[in-house]
Amino acid sequence: MTAVAEPQTSFVTGLFIDGAWSDADQTFDDINPATGDLLTRVSSGDAAHIDRAVAAARAALEGSWAATPGAARGALLYRLADLVERDAAELARLEALDVGKPVGQPAMLDIPNAVATFRHFAGWADKIQGTTIPTAGYLGMAQTHSYTVREPVGVIGAIVPWNTPLMIAAWKLGPALAAGNTIVVKPPEDAPLSILHLGKLIEEAGFPAGVVNIVPGLGSTAGAALVAHPGVDKISFTGSPEVGRQIQKSAADTFKRVTLELGGKTPQIVCEDADVVAAINGIAMGLFFNQGEVCAAGTRILVHRSHYDTVVDALAQAADAQVLGDPFAETTTMGALVSEKQKQRVLDYIEKGKAEGARLVAGGTQPDQPGFFVRPTIFADVDNRSTIAREEIFGPVGAVIPFDTVEEAIAIANDTEYGLAATIWTQNVSLAHTLAAKVRAGAVWVNGWAAIDPALPWGGMKASGIGRELGWAGIVANTEEKVVTVVL
Ligand code: NAD
């Protein structure tokens, strides 16, 4: 077993405000999920730090950044992408160490996706255009000339979760900066290290002071202060529905713009004509990737009765085959959950699943080893009204549910408060489009899982969120549209 326990460089643990690094008086402990040991102590920003960061962001918004044309903003984002690519191995290592995931996963997804996101939005920075709009004229007295422009929203507060911190930070930084906004980022307290390293790269890339500020801290202090701050024009939040709800209420006091990227209970629908082998492989990935700590994890597996036993058996085998352990060991396929709290939450849901009568066919236990590990778990014969089918577990727990007709499958798929994503496994192109139209979710994948890309809009329906990130939708979400009418 090859293990690389520690990264090669020391951790960045301070606050990045107005282009300078400092330490807060208070710190919080950052724990290694794979061992339960202390990794490092990180500066814990408070309301005063948020205040300074927002002031710096405001000054940059109206000063240096306003004077930086789109092409120059794009050049900075391209440089940042190159630096992230240069440090990809180190960033992947930090993500594995801090989140507990196998190091190959951030090396394959999180870091390349962040690079691609910065490049995608670098390209947009000098292409954000308005339109000219013909009108009926001014009160019948004069003709008019009307046009629109897209202006930055202003100072953006970005609040990031711990499951894929660098990637989601890039999803917020890329479009915000391309569109001319300045930003205060609040990294997750469970896994802040990759975003703090990114701060060093932002500094090295040469962004003007105050354009990007990073204030690590607790959600209840730094996060809440950012949301309440009257100098913040928009909150871009990714995290739990509970906190999202609080943020929307709090933001109403100052009429902040809000985008909320929240949880999910993604259905994976295996139709009668599906390529079952491909479906099983895709479903296993959708359940076990990132320890199931994925907002779009495909946790409700709806299977046509003709394939039901095959899929249940194969998923149980796939779960049992997962090798849990050191995120840096080559043999590891699944890492640790991010914290003791998250581990307990997942174990509690497993107990609820058993108590509510679902049939446990794999996992359900924690292995006898240090760290926050839970065996990947599959429940069969799950009632869609039961707790494990309704609530987001955010761990490697799948609920398999049989169906007989596509109408029934759609009814079950949509019988949820969430609407983030859905996967449809079918070889019938007509059925694929019919089901895609009927399922209420922000993203529908046919014959694949989590086919995400910076060019594609991302966000949820219903309790999965409000607004969209990425692609042109990301630019729209980070601009205010102004119309100018000249009476001729
Ligand atoms: P969380 O809501 O506990 O925390 C998310 C962030 O919000 C953290 O930075 C935290 O410090 C901060 N926060 C906590 N309380 C706050 C408050 N009162 N005010 C302001 N900020 C506060 O979520 P989490 O446990 O870090 O992440 C898991 C959740 O995130 C899951 O529900 C998951 O589905 C969701 N998620 C969604 C997406 C998506 O794109 N839709 C992506 C990843 C994760």
Give 290-309 pLDDT, tens digit per residue: 999 999 999 999 999 999 99
Q: What is the mean pLDDT of residues 21-41?
A: 98
**Ligand 1 close to Cβ of residue 250 (< 6 A):** no
Does pLDDT of 54 surpass 70? Answer: yes
Q: Tokens standing for 226?
A: 């950012």
Q: Are 271 and 428 in contact (CB under 8 A)?
A: yes
Does pLDDT of 66 surpass 90? Answer: yes
Q: Please tell me the residue having the least CA distance from ligand 1 atom 38.
A: 295
- For ligand 1, the distance from its centroid to the CA atom of residue 239, given in whole angstroms, is 2
Annotated catalytic residue within 261, 293, 392, 469: 261
The closest of 343, 333, 238 to 295, measured between CA atoms, is 238
Which pLDDT band, with edges at 50, 70 and 90, does 1 fall under? very low
Look-up: residue for tokens 């701060």?
199
Give 383-416 pLDDT, tens digit per residue: 999 999 999 999 999 999 999 999 999 999 999 9
Does pLDDT of 218 surpass 80? Answer: yes
Annotated catalytic residue within 95, 271, 272, 295: 295
- The 10 Å Cβ neighbour count of residue 380 is 23
Does pLDDT of 67 surpass 90? Answer: yes
Predicted confidence at residue 487, as pLDDT, reads 98
Q: Which of 238, 290, 391, 420 to mutate to test the pocket of ligand 1 (most atoms within 8 A of CB)?
A: 238
**Ligand 1 close to Cβ of residue 116 (< 6 A):** no
Rounded to the nearest integer, the mean pLDDT of the chain is 97
Q: Please tell me the residue having the least CA distance from ligand 1 atom 16.
A: 219
Which pLDDT band, with edges at 50, 70 and 90, does 312 fall under? very high
The closest of 251, 302, 253 to 279, measured between CA atoms, is 302
DSSP codes joined into one string, 345-398: HHHHHHHHHHHTT-EEEE--S--SSSSS----EEEES--TTSHHHHS---SSEE
Does pLDDT of 127 surpass 70? Answer: yes
Q: Are 455 and 470 in contact (CB under 8 A)?
A: yes
Q: Tokens standing for 425?
A: 């496994």
Q: What is the mean pLDDT of residues 5-18?
A: 79
Q: Are 159 and 261 in contact (CB under 8 A)?
A: no
Architecture (CATH level 2) of domain 267-454: 3-Layer(aba) Sandwich (3.40)
Q: Are 378 and 361 in contact (CB under 8 A)?
A: yes
Assign domain 15-262+464-487 to its CATH superfamily. Aldehyde Dehydrogenase; Chain A, domain 1 (3.40.605.10)
Which pLDDT band, with edges at 50, 70 and 90, does 7 fall under? very low
**359-362 sheet: strands from edge to edge:** 359-362, 377-380, 397-403, 300-304, 267-270, 421-425, 443-446
Predicted confidence at residue 10, as pLDDT, reads 86
What percentage of residues in the chain have a pLDDT greater than 70?
98
State the Cα torsion 173-179-183-188 to the nearest 10°: -30
Give 130-188 pLDDT, tens digit per residue: 999 999 999 999 999 999 999 999 999 999 999 999 999 999 999 999 999 999 999 99
In ligand 1, the atom with minimum distance to the C-alpha of 342 is 25
Look-up: residue for tokens 């897209």?
150
Which pLDDT band, with edges at 50, 70 and 90, does 8 fall under? very low
What are the residue ranges spanned by the domains of the chain? Answer: 15-262+464-487, 267-454
Distance, in Å, from the CA atom of 440 to the CA atom of 240, rounded to the nearest integer, reads 19
Predicted confidence at residue 4, as pLDDT, reads 42
DSSP codes joined into one string, 34-96: TT--EEEEEE---HHHHHHHHHHHHHHHHTTTTTS-HHHHHHHHHHHHHHHHHTHHHHHHHHH
**Ligand 1 close to Cβ of residue 393 (< 6 A):** no
Distance, in Å, from the CA atom of 414 to the CA atom of 419, rounded to the nearest integer, reads 8
Predicted confidence at residue 375, as pLDDT, reads 98
Q: Are 404 and 305 in contact (CB under 8 A)?
A: yes
* Residue 261, SS3 per DSSP: strand
Give 413-440 pLDDT, tens digit per residue: 999 999 999 999 999 999 999 999 999 9
Q: What is the mean pLDDT of residues 215-238?
A: 98
Distance, in Å, from the CA atom of 290 to the CA atom of 182, rounded to the nearest integer, reads 31
Q: Considering the entire predicted model, what is its pTM? A: 0.97
* Residue 271 annotated in active site: no
Q: Please tell me the residue having the least CA distance from ligand 1 atom 42.
A: 295
Q: Which of 189, 262, 391 to mutate to test the pocket of ligand 1 (most atoms within 8 A of CB)?
A: 262
Supply angle C-alpha 73, 108, 325, rounded to 5: 130
Q: Tokens standing for 367?
A: 């292995």
